[in-house]
Amino acid sequence: MMNKTEHPEDLLPWYVNGTLSSEEQSLVSAHLSSCDRCSQEVELLISIQKVANEPVDDAVLDMAQRRFMRELNSTSTVKKDKTWWQPVFAAAAMLVIVVQFVVIMNIEQETDSYQPAGIEQTGIVYQIQFHDGVKEQDIRILLQSANASIIDGPGALGLYRVRLDNKNSKDVLVSATHLIQHIEQE
């Protein structure tokens, strides 16, 4: 279990209490006969054990109990004084929850007005190429008068994709030959 260079420090309290097995008791006794350091430790443990086993005077017990009760009462009143913040934090937490609820509800209401991508819109789509040098303002006026909107473009070839609300709007675009170089239906 242990060689001559090891000290059975963890067994010494058990040795003093007499709770070691007979084999461990003999090993520790043999070690104590040759080791002053462990013998001194055993003497200290025995003296501590004697003090712990001495009867306590009733006056000392009464004084200790009064002191304990005084400390207990003083901490409970301090605890009551320190709880003022709990209702404040509870109210703040409720406010945060209410604000989050309102924000989430507003987000859900706003998303109802948007259309997801891929929804087919009504109207006819044309590819249009404008003449070089046409001003943006002229294009805007033309599209408004034809109830048309640009949905894509210009592409690599200078083509715009334009959605018209009805077939009659195409006549407005076709008549604008001074602005449009090419128009075809998709």
CA 83 to each of CA 68, 91, 168: distance values in angstroms, whole numbers, following the listed order:
23, 14, 76
Based on its alpha-carbon atoms, the radius of gyration of the chain, rounded to whole angstroms, reads: 47
Residue recorded with tokens 């109210």: 91
| pLDDT of 168 | 64
- Calculate the CA dihedral of residues 57, 62, 64, 66 and round it to 10 degrees: -170
DSSP structural state of residue 141: H
Could you give the domains of the chain? 9-53 (no CATH), 124-185 (3.30.70.80)
Q: What is the mean pLDDT of residues 68-90?
A: 73
Residues 46-55 pLDDT 10s: 998 888 888 8
Instruction: Give the tens place of pLDDT for each residue, 101-135.
Output: 888 877 766 555 555 566 566 777 778 888 788 88
Q: Is the pLDDT of residue 29 over 90?
A: yes
Average pLDDT of the chain to the nearest whole number: 79
Report the alpha-carbon angle 29-9-22, nearest 5. 35
Cα 166-167-171 angle, rounded to 5 deg: 120
User: Quick one: pLDDT at residue 7?
Assistant: 87
Return d(Cα 126, Cα 164) in angstroms, integer.
8
Could you give the CA distance from residue 168 to residue 179 in angstroms, rounded to a whole number?
Answer: 18
According to DSSP, residue 56 is labeled: P
Closest by CA position to 6, among listed 26, 25, 34: 34
